[in-house]
Amino acid sequence: MRTFPACVGGHSFSFRDSSESDSVPAVIRFFSRWAALGALVFTGCVATSSEPRNLDSLKAEIRTYIASGAYDRDIAAVARKVSAWIETRAAHRTTGEQLTLVLDLDETLLSGWPYAQQYDFGGDDASWNAWTAAGAAPPIEPIREVYRLARRLGIEVVFLTGRQERERAGTEKNLRAIGCTDYAVLICRPNGSKEKAAVYKTAARWRLAGEGNVIIANVGDQESDLAGSFAERTFKLPDPFYILE
Ligand SMILES: [Mg+2]
């Protein structure tokens, strides 16, 4: 009998050659052989591929996540928690406290979904600069509501963005377009800064705290928005598009 050894994971298996002649009908031998192979695949013996997930499949998953409304629902769920917290905290404000809400911009208050769609989740510096200069990013509505609530409660709002100073004009235009002009300050990175976002943003919050701001909440879509300290609470929004360190 010729055999075909199959690997794997410390196990060994043999398949009988189809040319072998015995009393078992050929059709049964055929199905038995493929049933054995299927069992190997099922147990992971053969399926030990390290092939990563397919890029086009991942893009399709993200589109479905957004089109289904799940992305919006996930954002709204976080926004409700932010709103509940700042209402509670404002109710317990002590005399003289300058309560401050720190908000990131991209994928927090401003949606980059149109840009991601236009460039199929790609893009480059030139297209990104054109996008921010246009100042046409739509608002992420639940976070705009958080901004409005904060202002009604007398909480200062600071926009702390990874965008650079050269993008300030377009960013201010965008904030005007979505009606978010009643903020304390817009903090942008220095042009050409190579500092990691977490370092830059933590340092900015440290400066804000030193100026008397009591940062009651820090909201962003990146872990790097929230790393470090100088905020009573942090709130992480979903971001299926990218990671910034
Ligand atoms: Mg962001």
Classify residue 119: in a domain, yes or no.
yes
In a domain, 188, yes or no: yes
Q: What is the pLDDT of residue 11?
A: 35
pLDDT classification of 49: cutoffs 50, 70, 90: confident
What's the gap in Å between 25 CA and the centre of ligand 1?
65
Whole-number Å distance, alpha carbon 52 to ligand 1 midpoint, is: 26
Cβ atoms 143, 103 nearer than 8 A: yes
Q: Are 74 and 80 in contact (CB under 8 A)?
A: no
Residue 89 Cα, ligand 1 centroid: separation in angstroms? Answer: 24
Q: How far is the CA of 102 from the centre of ligand 1 (A)?
A: 12
Give the DSSP per-residue string, 219-232: EESSHHHH-SSS-S
pLDDT for residue 13 is more than 70: no
Helix (H, G, I), strand (E, B) or coil at 27: helix
Residue 218's CATH number? 3.40.50.1000
In a domain, 86, yes or no: yes
Of 23-27, 101-105, 128-132, 160-164, the least confident: 23-27
Q: Is the pLDDT of residue 6 over 60?
A: no
Q: Report yes or no on 73 lying in a domain.
A: no
Domain count, the chain: 1
**Is the pTM for the entire model greater than 0.75?**
yes
Rounded to the nearest angstrom, the distance between the alpha carbon of 195 and the centre of ligand 1 is: 16
Whether residue 18 has pLDDT greater than 70: no
pLDDT (mean) for 154-182 = 98
Does residue 93 belong to any structural domain of this protein?
yes
**pLDDT confidence bin for 174, thresholds 50/70/90:** very high
CA of 224 to the centre of ligand 1 (A): 9
In this structure, is residue 72 part of a structural domain? no
91 belongs to a structural domain: yes
Cα(97) to ligand 1 centroid in Å equals 27
* Band (47; pLDDT cuts 50, 70, 90): low
φ/ψ of residue 16, rounded to 5: -80, 140
Residue 212 has pLDDT above 70, yes or no: yes
| CA angle at 100 for the pair 95 and 105, rounded to the nearest 5° | 170
Q: How are strands ordered across the β-sheet holding 156-164? A: 185-189, 156-164, 98-103, 213-220, 234-236
Number of H helices, E strands in the chain: 9, 5
Indicate whether 15 belongs to any domain. no
**What is the extent of the structural domain holding 101?**
81-236
Could you give the residue ranges of the DSSP H alpha helices within 92-157? 113-118, 125-134, 141-152
Residue 38 has pLDDT above 70, yes or no: no
